Amino acid sequence: MNKTIANQSLDENHYKPRQLREIVLAALGMGVLVGGIMVTPNFPIIFASIIGLIKEFKRKDIPEIKIKRDLKNLEKKEIISLEIKGKDVYVHLKNWLSPSTVKYSLQAILDLKKRAKTWNGKWFLVMFDVPEIQRNKRIYLRNFLKYIGFYQYQKSVYLFPFECEKEIALVKKIVEGAKYMSYIVAEKIENEQAAKTYFDLL
């Protein structure tokens, strides 16, 4: 079997439709965030850039035909719009500030930070005290922070080993309950061994 075909088959078997959709939305959101937080709600991302971002944060090739197919499906659902200019295809993400899109893209961005940076010994914490009457919002916020890569240090205290102030500012804008969240930089924390293990910092 041709090696390229074999690799494509592996990718097609590895990613379910929903997973590939999340990857594509993550790349779109990253394209906006890399250009600067809160640039414009209809910032166009060139298709080639989406391919590059996916390769960077997934560290593997996904067949372009599958990505184009997924983009077409997202266009049918009116989540994105596609525009052809000459030989280039531009993608407009209609609502990139949706909680799901921001969650997927922040997870990818924070994962890239972990791979690209050397830890300086500091911890970047978020802590919150969402009222009991808003318990559902508190649970959602906890799950959101876990998904994007934070470690649960205490019940309502989560931490990350690299600077993430802009990312947390964005979470505060789009996640209900995040208004109760505070961002803290710590030189040292007690019982940090488990966190170091979690982030592979040993």
Overall pTM > 0.85: no
Q: Are 145 and 75 members of one domain?
A: no
Q: What is the rounded distance in angstroms from the CA atom of residue 58 to the CA atom of residue 53?
A: 8
Indicate if 11 and 77 belong to the same structural domain.
Answer: yes
b/e code 171-184 from CB counts within 10 Å (16+ = b): beebbebbebbeee
| pLDDT score, position 202 | 81
CA–CA separation, 183 and 185 (whole Å): 7
Are residues 95 and 12 part of one domain?
Answer: yes
Residue type, 51: I
What pLDDT is stored for residue 192 in this prediction?
A: 95
In the prediction, which pLDDT does 148 show?
A: 97
Spatial CA neighbour of 124 closest among 187, 197, 180: 187
Instruction: Tell me: do 64 and 130 sit in the same domain.
Output: no
Residue 60, pLDDT score: 82
Residues 143 and 43: their CA atoms lie apart, in Å, by: 28
* Domain-terminating residue out of 99, 130, 157: 99
For residue 39, the domain's CATH number is: 1.10.10.10
In a domain, 92, yes or no: yes
Q: Does a structural domain hold residue 104?
A: no
Q: Do 66 and 16 have their domain in common?
A: yes
For residue 15, the model assigns a pLDDT of 67
Count of the separate structural domains present in the chain: 2
Domain that holds residue 163: 117-198
Q: Which two tokens stand for residue 41?
A: 């709600």
Specify if 112 maps to a domain.
no
- 88 with 138, same domain: the answer is no
Identify whether residues 50 and 127 lie together within a single domain: no
Establish if 66 belongs to a structural domain: yes
Would residue 180 count as lying in a domain?
Answer: yes
Same domain, 125 and 59: no
Block means of pLDDT (10 residues each) for the chain, length 202 residues? 40 67 89 61 77 88 90 91 88 84 93 93 96 92 96 96 94 90 96 96 88
